[in-house]
Chains A and B, each alone.
Chain A
Amino acid sequence: DVKVTQSSRYLVKRTGEKVFLECVQDMDHENMFWYRQDPGLGLRLIYFSYDVKMKEKGDIPEGYSVSREKKERFSLILESASTNQTSMYLCASRTQGMGNTIYFGEGSWLTVV
């Protein structure tokens, strides 16, 4: 079975802190994604990566950066956390090719106080 693991399920951080959200997949997938999910807004794509060291902005990249140094790991970075970044963050991965399923991690609940 494909496994997408997000290292932290629940985090509480202070405004201005640097935050790292880590995601690891074990199926050698080329593509990895970071979404945030907010009530009434659904899932919004922050960044995605289709190869090591490659990254593309999604719909809401402001305030975030990403790192993909190894194929299996995709990190989301909040350089200076703000309260409006309180949200559920979902990592996902898929292999290349149309129709291939996206697999999601369990999510990371981040609260910024």
Chain B
Amino acid sequence: GEDVEQSLFLSVREGDSSVINCTYTDSSSTYLYWYKQEPGAGLQLLTYIFSNMDMKQDQRLTVLLNKKDKHLSLRIADTQTGDSAIYFCAESNPRNGGSQGNLIFGKGTKLSVKP
């Protein structure tokens, strides 16, 4: 079955890099996503990566994908207090929900940034 695992908490100091890790089990997943949820709000898409890529960079965000190990990471450079949030890893698979492709989410990693 499909499962997405991520650690529940991460604490870093302002200005350091944060690395949030995720593992998934379904090797046929074609897209992998990172969503951010600020307190009291819904989820917003941060970035996504197609499974034939191994890296994607977008300003302070770097996504690394190791398809062999089914490992995904999100690196946030120069972490700021405004980055404090819950970060969800998710995979998209056409076998979930038929051809429309549901997302399977991890439980979320709560990132705390200390000044």
A-side interface residues toward B, CB under 8 Å?
Answer: 4, 30-31, 33, 40-43, 45, 48, 50, 56, 58, 90, 92, 96, 98-99, 101-107
Given contacts A41-B107, A42-B108, contact A98 B101 (CB under 8 A): yes
Q: By the criterion CB–CB under 8 Å, are A56 and B98 in contact?
A: yes
Q: By the criterion CB–CB under 8 Å, are A48 and B102 in contact?
A: yes
Which of under 10, 10 to 19, 20 to 34, or 35 or more describes the interface residues of B?
Answer: 20 to 34
B45 within 8 A of A: yes
Smallest CB-CB A-B distances: 4 pairs: A42-B107, A104-B42, A43-B105, A104-B43
Given contacts A40-B8, A50-B98, A56-B97, contact A102 B42 (CB under 8 A): no
Return B103 CB to nearest CB of chain A, in Å. Answer: 6
B-side interface residues toward A, CB under 8 Å?
Answer: 8, 30-31, 33, 35, 40-45, 48, 50, 88, 92, 94, 97-103, 105-108
